[in-house]
Amino acid sequence: MIKVLSVTSEAAPLVKTGGLADVAGALPGALEPLGVQMRTLLPGYPAVMAAIGTGETGGKVVLEDADLFGGPARVIAAKTAGLDLMVLDAPHLFQRDGGPYTDAGGRDWPDNPERFAALSWSAAEIAAGALAGWRPDILHGHDWQAGLAPWYLRRRHPQAGVGSVITIHNIAFQGKAAPGKLAGMRLSLNDMTQDGVEFWGDISTLKAGLVAADRITTVSPTYADELLTPEFGMGMDGLLRARAGVLSGILNGVDLAAWAPTYKTTAGKKRHKEALRSAMGLPEAAGPLCVVVSRLTYQKGLDLLLAALPRLLERGGQLALLGSGEAGLEQAYLAAADHPHVAVRLGYDEALARLLIEGGDAILVPSRFEPCGLTQMYGLRFGTLPLVAYTGGLVDTVIDATPAGLRAGVATGLQFHPASADALSRALDRLCDLYATPELWLGMQRNAMRHPVGWDQSAAEYLALYQGLIRQE
DSSP 8-state symbol, 102: B
Tell the burial category of 61 from Cβ atoms under 10 Å away from its Cβ (0-12, 13-18, 19+). exposed
8 Å CB contact between 131 and 160: no
- How many Cα atoms within 13 Å fall on the side-chain side of residue 115? 24
Annotated binding-site residues read 16
Q: How far apart are CA 207 and CA 195, in angstroms?
A: 9
The one-letter amino acid at 268: G
Q: How far apart are CA 335 and CA 301, in angstroms?
A: 18
Strand order in the sheet with 414-416: 342-346, 318-325, 289-296, 362-365, 385-389, 414-416
Q: For residue 156, what are the contacts with CB-CB under 8 A and spacing of at least 6?
A: 124, 128
**Backbone region of residue 21 per phi and psi (left: phi > 0; alpha: psi in -120 to 50; beta: other values):** alpha
- How many Cα atoms within 13 Å fall on the side-chain side of residue 279? 21
Annotated binding-site residues for ADP-alpha-D-glucose read 16
Q: For residue 346, what are the contacts with CB-CB under 8 A and spacing of at least 6?
A: 323, 324, 330, 333, 334
8 Å CB contact between 35 and 1: yes
Sign of CA dihedral 213, 143, 185, 200: positive
- SS3 for 45-89 is CHHHHHHHCCHHHCCEEEEEECCCCCCCEEEEEEEECCEEEEEEE
Coil, helix or strand for 155? helix
Cα angle 228-303-270, degrees, rounded to a multiple of 5: 100
Return the number of other C-beta atoms located less than 10 Å from residue 377's C-beta. 25
Q: How far apart are CA 17 and CA 173, in angstroms?
A: 14
Coil, helix or strand for 423? helix
